[in-house]
Structure 1
Amino acid sequence: MVLDALRRLRTPRTPAAGLPPVADGEVLLETVGLTKSYAGADGELPVLSGIDLRIRAGEVVALLGKSGSGKSTLLRCLAGLVPASSGSVTYRGAPLTGANPGTAMVFQTFALLPWLTVQQNVELGLEAKGVGAAERAASARQAIDLIGLDGFESAYPKELSGGMRQRVGFARALVVEPDVLMMDEPFSALDVLTAENLRGELMELWESGQFPTRAIVVVTHNIEEAVLMADRIVVLGSRPYGMIREVFDVDLARPRDRTHPGFEALIDQVYRAMTGRQKEARAQGRATAVDKRTVANTPLPTASVDGFSGLAEMVLHRGGRCDLADLADDLGLEVDDILPQVDALDLLGFAAVSDDDLVLTETGTTYAQADVQQSKTVFARAALQVPLVKLIATSVRTRSEGPVRAGFFRDLLAHHYTSEQIDRQLETATDWGRYAELYSYDADPQEYRADEGEEHEEPPGRAGA
């Protein structure tokens, strides 16, 4: 029973019991040729393509990738919350036709019902399964005690901190004893210390050998988090749609030691897989030359001009070349935190990634050394080679009747991106174009207008990479 399992979890661990759930090789979840598309303005918008994946008993699997790689969509397909467009998703060999009965989900945003108490929120899953009132109340109390919130049974979510709310989310998922616990960036909304504590407690429970679930699948964009938690890391790429780029087996003893050479080496390997543009482009059979770029295959990273300019200056002060992991450490950040800025510098031709180093190009060095007005000129020339920025700039300059409404660009982008992605693309393009004085934007009527500044020449070629 659920209550008995949770009571056992509360029992102190002995060395002999310090084993994870038995990895008996049983395949709990499997996808074969999984694709997922959403409706676009003129057809289907692909998000996932050709995903072959197995989740076996006794393992923690991390789905790792940048924003837009489809990792959360893949998790929802495994949970049966989103139907596949083609291919198959099976649970214990049976095709999914709806919500997966063997999984429970922990969300990034906690997803608690604010009008219910902690006790009532935890009972929800058991109530949906038809468990009687007395039994589910007892099980919920045990789960609340297990995750360290005893005394808060009658509290409402608004009375709890972020970490406490996520504990309620874990208790609600674990109390139904799912075969597979699924977590969608469960620690990303928490402060660093709270996330570290909660992640550590979760892994201690997993290693206890009495965890009420047989496998864990966690979505993350954080490389170190994936290496800390997972037995297997599945890296997803996102150009132009989500596909498995590489899989890493994590052969490191638990609990993981961040200072172990193998730990650091694996982080470097996974990082290279996440930033391996040439390898991914070859895998998809696409050319990588600048003149082949389109709005569809060249999304803008979510990086502000101030952000990537600051990064370029830091690299310049380190001699024009620096190890990204070392730079992130110096800044007190994770490598993942500066990847959007790295992508922006690469896209603009200001820098290139060589092994683990970020290297300024000749143009990037000029940009980083220039004063404000000079840097604007260099940036404008480079930005005009970015398809979306060029599209907006060209459209407003060739339109004699006046401004161009943002809806025009939204319609074009809808052929290739989801509505959320379109918002991010236009926000970044607006920021870049305004700074470069290529065009202006009026937020009230949502209109782009030509800037009356000087014309900008084509940028020089990429050099010094």
Structure 2
Amino acid sequence: MSSAASPVLIEVEKVYKRFPLPEGKGEFTVLSQIDLQVRAGEVLALLGRSGSGKSTLLRIMAGLIPPSQGRVLSNGQPLRGPNPDVAMVFQSFALLPWLTVQENVELGLQAQGIPREIRRQKALKAIDLVGLDGFESAYPKELSGGMKQRVGFARAFVLEPKVLFMDEPFSALDVLTAENLRGEIDELWNAQAFPSQSILIVTHNIEEAVFLADRVVILGSNPGRIRGEVRIDLPRPHERTDPRFKSLVDYIYEIMTNPEIAVTGEVALPALAGDKATSPYALPLPHARVGGISGLLELIVEWPQGRAEIADLAERLQLAVDDLLPILDAAVLLGFAEVASGVVQLTEIGQDFANTTILRSKDLFRQQLLARVPVFRSILQTLEEKGSRSMRADFFLDLWDEHFPHAEAERQFATAIDWGRYAELFEYDASEERLYLPEPSESSTAQKPVGLNSRSE
């Protein structure tokens, strides 16, 4: 249905979005130089890791928040305020519990001043379209999660928007319910019975994007930027058994696991220059727990040659890309694995880590942290330079705050504490909010050198 000659419904031109850092420490850029078009007759998917600004971009296009720079055109006109050409389905159901299904569906029409009888007719039609006929007088507490989300779709359908925005609409549902609803949405679109001219879906699920979309736009992170797009050149409906479907999924996995790889011939943007790149606190740690890293490596080592296709791994673990990729990133960062062409391969030290004892795994983890993750060398140097061999957590949080919003700085700190504790590099007293160097003990691990002063450079 998609065509380059189709009318442009929404256009994003050179959009940036920045948010201020706390205490006037500058700005955090969430989106950088976004150019995007949504055309009639297409399903467009925005795919990216957490932190790539997918939902922020969606809200800018909906007119819920303004861009810091650039502009959005809707129906050819600059957008100033809420976009009248769109309706949105959120991942949370957001139903008013004191209203019936029909009353919830009529809300948007009521806000537009539509007469009661016309509201009723439109609402009943939308309710029938999503398969909730007979539940018009039910209240949200009587509905399952899948039925509540159907009400959310009906509430959007009744407005007959030019573009339907969907922000991870199936992520709050169980696997079977999500698959059923996803299939029904696809059937409506393929039957040309869908009540909007275009769909824009934000997702972190690669298979979902390939199944539903005609175009998949892939966003990079830190800041969010468009790396390129992949056209889903499959006849509708997109059959998962088609070999081309699997090849597209594998290709996108390869792109998502290699941040600098070019997408469909477009050159990836270079890393941003500046003084922040010189600080170890500016280099983000993947948010993966040590247990998750260890578990993944122990699973991969059982595959032939310690090698697995990432798409097969995700399917076996039933993990969404946002959950799997940080663990893979951490394994690669630590030198335990390598990722290329959609395949993860354990390194020699990664296989050793997966097969060894707990004590030796701690040794290997500590070794790799100090060799490959500069922020841990910085933390240890700070602790070693203190006479008390300790430092308040606020000191390190302030360093992360220079480069990230405060909530993300706290997540970076929490990840560093998890990794550092496992490696026995330092201890953390949560009640005092203070980091300590461990006291020497008779254990072999505690006697090992832990800091810069005892390592050759």
TM-score scaled by length of structure 1: 0.87
Shift of 1:241: 0.8
Taking the aligned partners of 1:276 and 1:367, their CA distance within structure 2 comes to: 23
State the match for 1:450 in structure 2.
437
CA positional deviation for 1:457: 6.4
Q: Partner residue of 2:125?
A: 142
Q: Select which of 25, 34, 37 maps to 2:6.
A: 25
How far apart in 2 are the matches of 1:48 and 1:105?
Answer: 21
1:416 deviates by 2.4
Q: CA deviation at 1:205?
A: 1.2
Distance 2:327 2:256 in 1: 14
The superposition leaves residues 353-411 of structure 1 with CA deviations (integer Å, 9 ceiling, x where unpaired) of 12222122233233223210111111112223424444444444433457534333333
Residue 156 of structure 1 pairs with residue 139 of structure 2: yes
Tell me which residue corresponds to 2:443. Answer: none
Change (3 A) 1:109 1:298: same
**RMSD of Structure 2 on Structure 1 (CA):** 2.7
CA pair 432-54 structure 1, distance change in 2 beyond 3 A: same
Instruction: Map Cα deviations across residues 6-37 of structure 1 (whole Å, 9 max, x no partner).
Output: xxxxxxxxxxxxxx699861001111111111
Tell me which amino acid in the other structure corresponds to 2:112.
Answer: K
SS of residue in 2 equivalent to 1:279: coil
SS of the equivalent of 2:240 reads: coil
Residue among 269, 273, 276 paired with 2:255: 273
The residue aligned with 1:246 is 228
| Partner of residue 80, structure 2 | 97
Do the aligned partners of residues 171 and 436 (structure 1) sit closer, same or farther apart at CA in structure 2, a change above 3 Å counting?
A: same
Q: Equivalent residues in 2 for 1:209-288 (5 A)? A: 209-238=192-221, 240-279=222-261, 283-286=268-271
Aligned counterparts, 1:318-337, within 5 A: 318=303, 319-333=305-319, 337=323
Q: CA deviation at 1:445?
A: 4.2
**Aligned amino acid, residue 428 of structure 1:** T
Q: 1:354 to 1:222 in 2, by over 3 A?
A: same
Q: CA deviation at 1:440?
A: 2.5
Residue of structure 2 equivalent to 1:193: 176
Question: Secondary structure of 1:277's match?
Answer: coil
- Of stretches 251-260 and 193-202 in structure 1, the one that deviates more from structure 2 is 251-260
User: Once structures 1 and 2 are overlaid, which stretch shifts more, 32-41 or 327-336?
Assistant: 327-336
**Displacement after TM superposition at 1:189 (Å):** 1.0
Q: Say whether residues 1:383 and 2:369 are aligned partners.
A: yes
Q: Which amino acid aligns with 2:436?
A: R
Given that 2:160 and 2:196 are in contact with CA atoms closer than 8 Å, whether structure 1 keeps it comes out as yes
Question: Per the alignment, do residues 21 and 69 of structure 1 end up closer, same or farther by CA in structure 2, a change over 3 Å counting?
Answer: closer
* Range that drifts further, 104-113 or 172-181: 104-113
More displaced 10-residue stretch of structure 1: 215-224 or 157-166: 157-166
Please, which moves more after superposition, 341-350 or 323-332? 323-332
Q: Which residue of 2 aligns with 1:407?
A: 394
Question: What CA deviation, in whole Å up to 9, does each residue of 1:162-208 have, x standing for no partner?
Answer: 11111111111111111110011111111110000001111111122
Paired positions, count: 437
Q: Match for residue 307 of structure 1? A: 292
Mapped partners of 1:257, 1:280: distance in 2? 27
Aligned-partner residue type, residue 450 of structure 2:
H
- CA pair 294-271 structure 1, distance change in 2 beyond 3 A: farther
Q: Distance in 1 between matches of 2:362 and 2:380?
A: 15
* 1:357 aligns to 2:343 (yes or no): yes
Distance 1:287 1:53, change over 3 A: closer
Question: Equivalents in 2 of 1:404, 1:169: separation in Å?
Answer: 50
Q: Is the 8 A contact 1:203 1:229 kept in 2?
A: yes
Counterpart-to-counterpart distance in 1, 2:437 and 2:281:
24
Distance 2:18 2:362 in 1: 39
2:261 is paired with a residue whose SS is helix
Segment drifting more, 103-112 vs 228-237:
103-112
Deviations 1:35-89 (A, max 9, x none): 1110013111001101111000000000001111111111111111111011111
Separation in 1, partners of 2:298, 2:132: 47
Q: CA deviation at 1:332?
A: 4.7
Change over 3 Å in CA distance of 1:359–1:159 after alignment to 2: same
* Cα separation, partners in 2 of 1:117 and 1:444, compared to 1, 3 Å: farther
TM-superposition CA deviations, 1:124-149 (whole Å, max 9, x none): 21122121233223322322222122
What's the CA shift for 1:225?
0.3
Contact 1:21 1:210 in 2 (8 A): no
Residue 113 (str. 1) matches residue 96 (str. 2): yes
CA separation in 1, counterparts of 2:156 and 2:379?
A: 46
Q: Does 2:21 correspond to 1:40?
A: yes
1:45–1:415 contact (8 Å) kept in structure 2: no
Give, in whole Å, the separation in 2 of the partners of 1:335 and 1:100: 30
CA offsets per residue over residues 296-328 of structure 1, 9 Å max, x none? 653122211111112212222332323222333
How far apart in 2 are the matches of 1:254 and 1:329? 23
Deviates more, 1:35-44 or 1:386-395: 386-395
Structure 1 pair 415/264, CA: closer, same or farther in 2 (3 Å)?
same
SS in 2 for 1:108: coil
Segments of structure 2 that go 5 or more residues without pairing to the other structure are 440-445
Q: 2:424 aligns with which of 437, 446, 456?
A: 437
Contact kept in structure 2, 1:76 and 1:82, CA below 8 Å: yes
**2: distance between equivalents of 1:193 and 1:265?**
24
